Structure 1
């Protein structure tokens, strides 16, 4: 029992020190996928502008925040970048019943620096990428990486590029490699590409090339803040959906 305590307190400390504003904030604690950073900050600002306590936002790869939630981190809301990690928490009995909602959808794209070529077909992709670093989130645990692996497999190029992958802990880290010029190309979400001034979209994957990219959210059983449920309801509201669209996300469907 004692062996687990240091890990738990590390999770607690990380949750409390997520950003310079966290110490001042008193709203619900939200664990959210890294690709949601920009839009969630805007949504939290909008919520606070209505006179509500500003949510505390903690961002990381979905696999990291899911494990934090499963370890008992004192969080209120969990927002994943895929259904798989949300299912993991549900099977572990970490979610409040009937609280799952899809907030938004996304697309998968190839990004490059300003001089990167357009990669419109598998041949062009291989000519540009094979033998060079390809930035992508971890393909075994991170949703963006899993989507990328599925898309590359569908294209028939996975075996040719697997050895060249520059794997990162989350999709924003993959984007950063391309922004810095450490990798000539990367695979990220369309919203990540849109948020960066240092890259451009060099190709798009068809939605059917991988599982639907959705962002499910749910209340955790550790939720204790009185605004947790109201804030989650707000995230599904027409006002919040308009903010999601402003940041390049597609509207949510009526499913979980």
Structure 2
């Protein structure tokens, strides 16, 4: 299965006649776990999932513009709510699929600190704080909320380096382009070149939820629904848990 980060529309290719293929638009933070889960599902059922990963905002906007996605998995509820309000998802299929945590990272190795000891201006110096897009991408929105809650935002907002999605923010830190970044816990776990400096406390940002739903124009809604049901099942959830995701509400 070939997966690459790109505009979702660029991933739509012709399939052999009769092939059971569905197209999934999913938040960038799901790349590793969902790729593994989809490969297992294909092995077990023969149904292939073509996966397009990007920021939730970019994917939602492509669906608004008519991109033929069959399943959308967002990293927050707002973008799913937007599509629901426009009649672009089958609302009866919507579920909260996963949860996640929010962490502060630095190039590995790095010493951990506690939230009470957090002094971002001192830690950053003249460096930049890598984050996903603040006005659109869920990880950036969660990150800003957390920093505001901890009284750190005003002092560092002028030093933020914004990436198109959370994996771009992760790459800034992994390559040494930024000394610190804010990403999901699962992203940090997937990248050996970074260390978690701090886990943001629960309550400092809205609970992270990954809602998923079949789109209103899904070409094969029954096949897509079966895949979504499987993603919520114990075998798939075990894959997600191994990558650091939690069950919603856990």
Pick the aligned partner of 2:156 from 157, 161, 165. Answer: 161
Determine if contact 2:72/2:212 at 8 Å carries over to the other structure.
yes
Q: Which residue of 2 aligns with 1:105?
A: 99
Q: Which residue of 2 aligns with 1:59?
A: 53
Q: Which residue of 1 aligns with 2:187?
A: 192
Q: Secondary structure at the match of 2:45?
A: coil
Q: Secondary structure at the match of 1:55?
A: strand
Pick the aligned partner of 1:33 from 27, 50, 72. Answer: 27
Q: Which residue of 1 aligns with 2:3?
A: none
Q: Distance in 1 between matches of 2:207 and 2:118?
A: 25
Post-superposition shift, 1:127? 1.4
TM-score (norm 2): 0.91
- Please list the CA deviations of residues 41-73 of structure 1 after superposition, one character each: whole Å capped at 9, or x if unmatched: 011011011132211100000000000111111
Pick the aligned partner of 1:96 from 90, 93, 97. Answer: 90
Give the unaligned 5+ runs of structure 2: 1-5
Instruction: Indicate how the Cα distance of structure 1 residues 251 and 174 shifts in structure 2: closer, same or farther if over 3 A, else same.
Output: same
Q: Secondary structure at the match of 2:31?
A: helix
Give the unaligned 5+ runs of structure 1: 1-9
- Please list the CA deviations of residues 222-256 of structure 1 after superposition, one character each: whole Å capped at 9, or x if unmatched: 101241111011111111111111111011349xx
Pick the aligned partner of 1:136 from 131, 136, 139. Answer: 131
Q: Distance in 1 between matches of 2:8 and 2:157?
A: 36
Post-superposition shift, 1:23? 6.5
Instruction: Indicate how the Cα distance of structure 1 residues 42 and 66 shifts in structure 2: closer, same or farther if over 3 A, else same.
Output: same
Q: Distance in 1 between matches of 2:180 and 2:32?
A: 22
Q: Secondary structure at the match of 1:248?
A: coil
Cα RMSD over matched residues? Answer: 2.0
TM-score (norm 1): 0.88
* 1:229 lines up with 2:210 in the alignment: no
Regions of 4+ moved over 6 Å: 22-25
Determine if contact 2:7/2:52 at 8 Å carries over to the other structure.
no
Pick the aligned partner of 1:118 from 112, 115, 118. Answer: 112
